[in-house]
Amino acid sequence: MNLSQIKNEKNAILCVDDEPILLLSLVQELKREIGGSYTYETAQNPEEAMEVIDDLCQSGVEVILILSDWLMPGMRGDEFLIKVHQKYPHIKSILISGHADRDAINRVKEEAKTYAIFSKPWNTKELLDAVRFCCNLT
């Protein structure tokens, strides 16, 4: 991420997944349906995502929402979202996964206050409805 490339938008949505094609697909859906009033950032692992969040917050951009995969190298999505919630409790989150176990789902809902969990492949309308709700666009 190059902070000099951030537009004038002061709100960001961050997508985290270790599969680049899924990141691209998700960002394209968000841009098409939500529009250009947000900065859309991506990260391919939780460590990179934490750096992006810290950099955005330090530059005055508010991260409104994180959409995160669950099964990623290094750290699972539930652990990542809990860590984010502890540091930035105002950031909303949605977990997307084809593999999350029931314990992880319960933990992320309780400890990270994750708004919704979607299975891959996700239902685009349901996911976008959840994003709109989290971004106060409903």
Total domains, the chain: 1
**In whole angstroms, how far apart are CA 121 and each of 27, 87, 126?**
15, 30, 12
69-79: per-residue pLDDT in tens?
999 989 999 99
Query: Has residue 31 got a pLDDT over 60?
Result: yes
The separation between CA 30 and the C-alpha centre of its own chain, rounded to angstroms, equals: 11
* H helix and E strand count, the chain: 5, 5
User: What is the structure's pLDDT at 134?
Assistant: 95
pLDDT confidence bin for 9, thresholds 50/70/90: low
What CATH number did the domain enclosing 117 receive? 3.40.50.2300
SS3 category, 84: helix
- Mean pLDDT (whole number) for 101-114: 91
Residue numbers of the domain that contains 116: 3-134
Report the half-sphere exposure of 4 (CA within 13 A, side-chain side).
0
Closest CA to 116 of 103, 99, 137, 97: 97
Mean pLDDT over the full length of the chain: 90
- Side chain identity at residue 24, one-letter code: L
